């Protein structure tokens, strides 16, 4: 099975965890796209009723609205029952790198107010240690070249996330710098160091954030319980 088929499998499977009446956090990315398609279908068929979606990107908001899913602003709900999102890497101890799609800041804010977080991934995303996937860091544009230079001096091998010839802009109009670290020995220490650098708004290190993971495999979806 190719990677897209596994993404579709896990995306569809995750909709089984969405019950009528829930407030659901809708993540971002190609795996989540399959989940939102299936959710929209079940809403249209009346199988899932009265759900409210809170999205982690403008992209997902448009897709969900087009499918007839009710979307509310995060500040217009007092909690989120379950957030379903993708991930770029998940280590043996269920720590994650996210932000490959550039939505890490809203994704972390939505995860923070969610009672439960589920990640949906194909099996290629499971790794022993984090770091082969470049770690995204969201920076405000003002003074961002200085942040980039500091990251370079620290040996973190930064590159600008590009969108054609222009620097990629997040939904908050920020830039993303990707750090090519290879292997991250101490994700918590790195997250603490980066978040304290002035100009960095958020990092793609999602530590102790996930409850359950659904992994798409050729043998069918597997559920892993993190905590």
Do the annotations mark residue 143 as ligand-binding? no
Contact (Cβ atoms closer than 8 angstroms) between residue 23 and residue 80: yes
Give the separation between CA 60 and CA 26, rounded to whole angstroms.
7
Scan residues 77-106 and list those touching ligand 5RP (CB under 6 A).
Answer: 85-88, 98-104
Give the active site residue among 38, 107, 138, 202: 107
Cα–Cα nearest to 135, from 83, 56, 193, 58 = 193
**Token pair of 155, please?**
């040996």
Residues forming a β-bridge with 119: 85, 213
CB-nearer residue toward ligand 5RP: 106 or 148:
106
Binding region for ligand 5RP (CB under 6 A) out of 25-33, 37-45, 155-163, 179-187 = 25-33
CB-nearer residue toward ligand 5RP: 33 or 69:
33
Tell me if residue 107 is catalytic: yes
**Token pair of 158, please?**
């930064």
Told to check if 59 binds ligand 5RP by CB under 6 A, we report no
Told to check if 25 binds ligand 5RP by CB under 6 A, we report no
How many other C-beta atoms can be found within 10 angstroms of the C-beta atom of residue 93? 12
**What is the set of active-site residues?**
107
Interaction site with ligand 5RP (CB under 6 A):
27-31, 85-88, 98-104, 107
């Amino acid at each position: 099975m190719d990677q897209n088929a596994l993404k579709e499998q896990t995306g569809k499977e995750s909709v089984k965890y969405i019950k009528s009446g829930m407030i659901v956090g809708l993540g971002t990315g190609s795996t989540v796209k399959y989940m939102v398609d299936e959710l929209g279908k079940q809403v249209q068929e009346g199988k899932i009723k009265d759900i409210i979606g809170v999205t982690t990107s403008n992209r997902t908001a448009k897709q969900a609205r087009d499918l007839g899913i009710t979307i509310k602003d995060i500040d217009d709900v007092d909690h989120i029952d379950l957030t379903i999102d993708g991930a770029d890497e998940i280590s043996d101890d269920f720590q994650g790198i996210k932000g490959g799609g550039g939505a890490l800041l809203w994704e972390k804010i939505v995860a923070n107010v969610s009672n439960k977080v589920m990640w949906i991934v194909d099996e290629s995303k499971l790794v022993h240690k984090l770091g082969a996937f470049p770690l995204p860091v969201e920076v405000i544009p003002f003074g961002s070249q200085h942040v980039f230079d500091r990251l370079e001096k620290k040996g973190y091998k930064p590159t600008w996330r590009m969108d054609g010839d222009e620097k990629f802009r997040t939904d908050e109009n920020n830039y993303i710098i990707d750090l090519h670290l290879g292997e991250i020995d101490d994700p918590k220490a790195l997250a603490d160091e980066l978040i304290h650098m002035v100009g960095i708004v958020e990092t793609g290190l999602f530590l102790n954030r996930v409850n359950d993971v659904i992994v798409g495999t050729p043998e069918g979806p597997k559920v892993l319980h993190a905590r």
